[in-house]
Amino acid sequence: MTIFSMVYAVVQALVGMLSRLVGRRRILVFSTIAYAVVLMSTSLIYSYETLLILQVAGALTAGVYFITGLSIIADISSSSKHKGLIMGFYLSATSLGAVLSSSMSGVALKYWNWRIAYLVWGLVGIPIGLLMLRYLPRDNRLGEDTDSRARRPMLSERAISATYALLVISLMLNSIKVWGLSTFLCSFLSEAKGFTQASAAALYGGIRGIGVLGQTTMGIMLDSMGKFETAILTTGLGAFAVCLPLVNCGRPFLVVTLAIYGFVSPMAFGSVMASIHDSTPPESWDAATGFANALSFVGASVGPAMVGRLIDASGFNVAFLTTAALSALGCLISYFAWMTSKTCQRKKAGSQ
């Protein structure tokens, strides 16, 4: 998994360059079909070394998928007044797919074996790739033209860079929070709260499912409140939600607080990514979001190690409170990004 994540992060950073070279549509079709072939090939392997090689191949093929799809959605919906909601549905769909795949893989492992699970997921990918080839729109506006210049944010290049840097930092902090706590949430439930490992895993699966509803709600908030404002609110709520499971008021209260945590935590990622789209030129979407998501994987790799070390050294309470402080810092940085963008917009509008 470490190898997969490392390669996946590098590919994310290069997705903008790939989009300009071959186009988004070709990337998505190739990624879907090639990853399906990798999954089917994995069902046939008999050595650990071959598995590692296929993990690298899988990360190379799957790494370009998410950001490319997000850029296509943003480009298609750029003139819609419900662009935020559309982007929220895209994030919800990817999260729902992750939840369903985990559940279905568990069923496959119970009644068959892991080879059958890999083979089935690979076979599913082939028709999906063919459907994309048939129905995905042709590539357009990957380069700068008159239309893209008209849709530029009202910011100077320096302001765009400063806003982008702040948003990426906030994204990384949120990634540390989400991945760090998610990795050890089952351990927290079984060790500190007395759940069995099976019930803790089941509860964690429910928490992930609730996150799908949170991302859909986030899409509605993007349209009604604004993207930066949503980013500030969701990162701030994340800091509050992290602390709730620590309050010892019985299991019903714990389940409710975990549901709140599961609902709020994924929202910050989508709102920050939408803010990046809103503050960068359209022709830079692939590169800007790809590089930002690649750096968020740095947070995803640091988070579990950091939270695990804190749990071992100081206990669950200190680990959760420290992570809440990082989330609050992310909220503050999101606020500075919003202020940078807002101030420069006012100055430019006033000069015009």
Rounded Cα–Cα distance for residues 160 and 165 (Å): 9
Question: Across all residues in the chain, what is the average pLDDT?
Answer: 84
**Segment 54-60 long-range contacts (CB within 8 Å, at least 24 positions apart):** 55/1, 55/3, 55/4, 55/7, 56/3, 56/4, 56/7, 58/4, 59/3, 59/4, 59/5, 59/6, 59/7, 59/8, 59/11, 60/7, 60/11
Q: What is the pLDDT of residues 10-52, one digit of tens each?
A: 888 888 888 888 888 888 899 999 999 999 999 898 888 898 8
Q: Which pLDDT belongs to residue 37? A: 93
Residue 85 lies in a domain: yes
* CATH code of 243's domain: 1.20.1250.20
**Total domains present in the chain:** 2
Domain identity same for 199 and 334: yes
Residue 144 lies in a domain: no
Q: Check whether 140 has a pLDDT greater than 80.
A: no
Residue 250 lies in a domain: yes
Domain that holds residue 105: 2-135
Domain identity same for 121 and 199: no
- Looking at per-residue confidence, does 149 or 7 come out higher? 7
Q: Check whether 148 has a pLDDT greater than 60.
A: no
Domain identity same for 166 and 286: yes
pTM above the 0.75 mark? Answer: yes
Q: What is the pLDDT of residues 83-100, one digit of tens each?
A: 888 888 888 888 888 777
Q: Which pLDDT belongs to residue 299? A: 86
Domain identity same for 329 and 202: yes
Q: What is the pLDDT of residues 303-334, one digit of tens each?
A: 888 888 888 898 888 988 999 999 999 999 99
Count of other CB atoms within 10 angstroms of residue 34 = 18
